[in-house]
Amino acid sequence: MTVTAEGTQGAGSALDRTRLLKDLQAQARLLEDDLRKRTDDEPEFRDALRVEYDKAVAAERTAAMYETWRDDRVV
């Protein structure tokens, strides 16, 4: 299937942009939730982010709590 400049797909069926946007937004939320979970559960990601956060605090580049700062990195 291909999408043309007119927004059609395949054999003349219209692309439902509103539905596509809602579906993609739902997928993005799932991805963000998964990334947040990984930053808590997987030491490789958790430790690297914590070091980066600690450096940002020490350099006074952030005054945010860790979770808020982390969420800014995830999205």
CA dist 5 → 19, 33, 62 (Å):
18, 33, 43
Report d(CA 13, CA 45) in Å as an integer: 43
Residue 12: its pLDDT value, please? 57
Instruction: Give the three-state DSSP class for 2.
Output: coil
Task: Say if residues 75 and 29 touch (Cβ distance below 8 Å).
Answer: no
Q: Could you read off the pLDDT of 23-49 as tens digits, one per residue? A: 999 999 999 999 999 999 999 999 999
Residue 14: its pLDDT value, please? 82
The domain limits of the chain are 8-74
Report d(CA 71, CA 75) in Å as an integer: 6
